[in-house]
Chain A
Amino acid sequence: MSTNDLLALLPIILLCGASVIAMLLVAVKRNHRVMHAFTVAAFIIALLALFRQPDNMPYLIAPLFVVDKFALFNTGLILAAGLSVLLLSYNYFEQREERKEEYYILLLLATVGGLVLLSSRHFISLFLGLETMSISLYGLIAYLRTRERSDEAGIKYLLLAALSSAFLLFGMALVYAEAGTMDFVGIGQYLKGINEPPVAVVAGFGLMLIGVGFKLGIVPFHMWAPDIYEGAPLPVAAYIATVSKGSMLVLLMRFYRDVNGYDYTILWWVFAIIAMASMFVGNWLALMQRNVKRLLAYSSISHMGYILIAFLAGQEAGQEAVMFYLVAYVITSIGAFGVLALLSDSINDAEMLEDFTGLFWRQPWLAAIFTAMLLSLAGIPLTAGFIGKFYVVAAGVSSGLWLLLALLVVNSVIGLFYYIRLVAVMFQPLEGVPVRKRLPFFGVFALSALMVLLLWLGIYPSVLIAMIRDMMLSMG
């Protein structure tokens, strides 16, 4: 390995090192504050490392990795998402569990897994990254052992994730058996070389789709989402919604492009049906949901459906739209879960609709942030979600996906119903004198930053658009 290789993988290496040091720190003395500060520092340093990259992009580290602008951008996104989750975690864990330090180690490891996925171009690195992330997530989801739904969520995720990994492995094996290579580009060349892909390869892709679909939480592989969101600690739920789904999506985009997935109509239709089903099922089940965590879970299923529409639009505009939507989605999801996390007390999470009654008169700033996040999810102007939805629709129109777009419109209206209902609950008049809870500084700071970002992207998205465009063009 050359210096440049190390430089290209610096964020991953830094986080790996950080997790080892973190483990040692716990061995020396348990101190939540030190641990938190250390992890935050590790994330920030990893983010800074992004600016020290080899010049010749895309940089290939054969056979496992490729570091290109696409990977770099998403590494930045995932690290920033992880950092925001971290900032929201301190207070949440401080008031609960006794042993809080291991949480940070697991979070570091899960992020390592995510980062590996972002730049992998090979089945081996794909599987390693995926499993590193999944195994850390088992621990993270069941972290608050004493709570009633923790174990259920942890076991459920463990079983289903293991099952889906098995499918993924089997699929990869089938593809490898025919193609003779595990390299994405190699598989693409193999497929180009033959006219009709053999049954084994088709079956392999199908099985892989199950594995990928599970991680993305798209219908019909979505069943785990609401239970896990409900049972997991809130920062972890935010983490799953953003980092885990986001990195899988990025991997899917890379794989799809390398194997020329857009050439196969049948694959297109499979994704189209999944997109439609995700939109409808997600929105439909969220409609009457009174538990806000479950509501956000269902809403994230439907948002994956919207993203898939942009994904299916293909070409430049579609890929750009996916990236923009992903950024908007990450900001809003963390923001929404963050508000929930800050409102939770040491015994209960703020999760039922009733917990939010009159929030605007109790905690105006938090309510304003939550409103902004919900409106962004609903795609109302002045927020990043609006530009994201606009981007998706624009991509769809340019590829003439009228059926999918019509369904998107229908679903946006259904979605509005439950977002707006939640907003309405927050603005209901309050009886009695409001009791104000003191809010942790870092949490409010992180949320405020997210809201500023949300509005900035909603009002002046040109900078991000130019960045994404530049990145996509460099990919060719």
Chain B
Amino acid sequence: MTARVGVVTFPGTLDDRDTQRAVRIAGLEAVPLWHRDKDLKQVDAVVLPGGFSYGDYLRAGAISRFSPVMESVIDRAKSGMPVLGICNGFQVLTESHLLPGAMLRNNHLHFICRDQKLRVENADTAWTSDYEAGQEISVPLKNIDGRYVADERTLDELEAEGRVAFRYLDGNPNGSLRDIAGITNAEGNVVGLMPHPEHAVEPLIGTGRTDGLGFFTSILKKLVNA
């Protein structure tokens, strides 16, 4: 018996099929979820994949946050279901107030697509337990609205509570405050980051690294071997 991981498709979601593939490669069952359905189909965890949901109109993630599927995701996340938001998914999580802060346009104002080095700062979340704290990984980064911001107090809190999950290394690609690439909630079940671990799961594809696979093996261990 493996676990079921839901992957939500909003209109304008792009990385849903890639995320489903990454989930399967890790040995989990991928369950497509549709934005108009409240029904989460008995999944054990949910990934909100990248893309431009609702065209990023208004603000990235601002409309998706009100979709029927998100009502259920928000409810279940509050009661402990693991949720991972990647890129646009991270934006949806901040818009949903499951995670603090917001993403603004990159400081150089361009879309940027590159292999990005990160440090895993917190290896105790549902999505990072297969990494070591302090481990350096490289996964693709690709966005135009990737600059993480929050007020100073929130940033200090995140730091103090070990909730900065990932930090950019070798150059901050977008002006994110304190080099923050991803964060977690206090419980460690909701994690969001801008870079794309689902694009780094096969040695042949993309950058040729599999550094992103750990996100999916972490959740496999949590859900199945726990």
Binding between chains A and B? no
A-side residues, CB < 8 A to B, are none
Query: Contact residues of B with A, CB < 8 Å?
Result: none
